[in-house]
Structure 1
């Protein structure tokens, strides 16, 4: 063997190393893009994978994403998009119109403009976060977009009146693939109705940080948890990390194995 020869890794392993570095440490992406032509082709697709309003959680900024979209040079591969606060409805519509491969979408704002509904209807996310109370009267809203959603997080106004329970149950019935549900700021009285009516639901998480109410419920699908950083939890889930849904699954598994008292629902 020539002593001057450098070790050569199989391309599959080399690609896995570079892509893993880009996913785990997005801040290294600009440098990784300069390594070689083949590494550029691998990493360029990851560059636009996760977009959030906070730079440290993004693989690229909103500004970078918009420059690519407006240049018409390519369709960026955006898998995880967190929009808050909006940069204007026109900007959001432009992003959603181009980024059709979104797998997880967060629309964290108190109102979703009806102007966005036709564009939203073209998406097929698996994970969806947002405020939807203002859209409950729009019966045809999002039915196609909801088809493949497995993980839904609802961020609503505290103190939803009991008379709205049938409306919310009808809304949740529009999610045929739903397995995980997180509700924040709802009255606790809504929870038993969801558990009773959601036969396919595997995990129901309720945010306890905004309410001191306790629910005496033995249904092992129910977990109460205190949430802190919404963006960090969302990004952690997008990367397959140990976010509140993963922690709730582990908590429920321990209850079913009797490692935790069956009637317990509070996850610290």
Structure 2
């Protein structure tokens, strides 16, 4: 390590922090530049944690090792980890998920790609209830596997909800989703993997504060013409055909302020309300809209 400064400390710190923010893949080598640089950017290293360190994020194993080393005070991880993905494919991280959530209890964005077949919900829900999340991506069947009072605290602050469950089209589904969604009092954005227009109408009528409702589709029905795609006559609703929305890469980009499917939908809705979207009845993003290039519909006619 070299400790000899070349610039005023304030400028030097800004340079290194900016480099780490814009180019996260440089964080690990930057940590070895000097002790002061290490202290400046170490907090950035742990900001976004994913199972295997995708897109130069912090791998869960690195975080686990740091927590279990007991070399840092409890406040260290609480103050640094902001975006966390816990995956059922990372067995070790799954086994210590309660400790992980307890140590990182200031997490703002949580992605949980796990279900009740991989871990008993009651092992995680108490630690989950202590969080004040803004964004949650999860299987609601897992979140609501216990009693509502047990998981209620974590629901009260969630504004963006990405639902992984695929639920069949039926009156029972409408009732089930309604009973879940009313437990989120400040919800503004919801993404569902579904295609039922009656369900969309039900959700939009139920959640008065909702600003964006996205129905994610992997592909349009091969015989369906886009002009015939039904919609609930509400400009808060967006059909979205995508191969990446909802995946970890998109979650990482969105968690760190980049263009994700929610921002794409917000921009589309603003353009629609201003009359820029033609025809005005269109409720899907196309390539020519130049909004979030990953979220357009290909012409399959």
Question: Secondary structure at 1:43's aligned position in 2?
Answer: helix
8 A Cα contact 1:51 1:78, kept in partner: yes
8 A Cα contact 2:144 2:151, kept in partner: no
1:102 aligns with 2:92: no
Structure 1 residues 247 and 109, CA, compared in 2 at 3 Å: closer, same or farther?
same
Using the TM superposition, name which of 18-27 and 207-216 deviates more: 207-216
Q: Give the TM-score taking structure 1 as reference length.
A: 0.89
Structure 1 residues 45 and 167, CA, compared in 2 at 3 Å: closer, same or farther?
same
Q: Name which of 127, 131, 137 aligns with 1:123.
A: 131
Q: 2: distance between equivalents of 1:215 and 1:246?
A: 23
8 A Cα contact 2:51 2:61, kept in partner: no
Q: Name which of 123, 140, 161 aligns with 1:132.
A: 140
1:219 aligns with 2:234: yes
- Equivalence map 1:244-259=2 (5 Å): 244-259=261-276
Q: 2: distance between equivalents of 1:186 and 1:144?
A: 30
Q: Which runs of 5+ in 2 are unaligned?
A: 286-295, 297-301
Shift, 1:196, TM fit: 0.9
Q: 2: distance between equivalents of 1:61 and 1:101?
A: 18
Shift, 1:9, TM fit: 4.7
1:194 aligns with 2:213: no
Deviation digits for residues 127-166 of structure 1 (CA, Å, limit 9, x no counterpart): 1000012454622242111111111100112425321312
- Equivalence map 1:156-235=2 (5 Å): 156-185=165-194, 187-209=196-218, 212=221, 214-229=229-244, 230-235=247-252
Q: 2: distance between equivalents of 1:134 and 1:86?
A: 17
Deviation digits for residues 57-115 of structure 1 (CA, Å, limit 9, x no counterpart): 24321211111111122232211111122425431112111111101000112336222
Aligned length, in residue pairs: 262
Name the structure where helix makes up a greater proportion of residues.
2
Q: Give the TM-score taking structure 2 as reference length.
A: 0.80
Alignment root-mean-square deviation, CA: 2.2
8 A Cα contact 2:158 2:186, kept in partner: yes
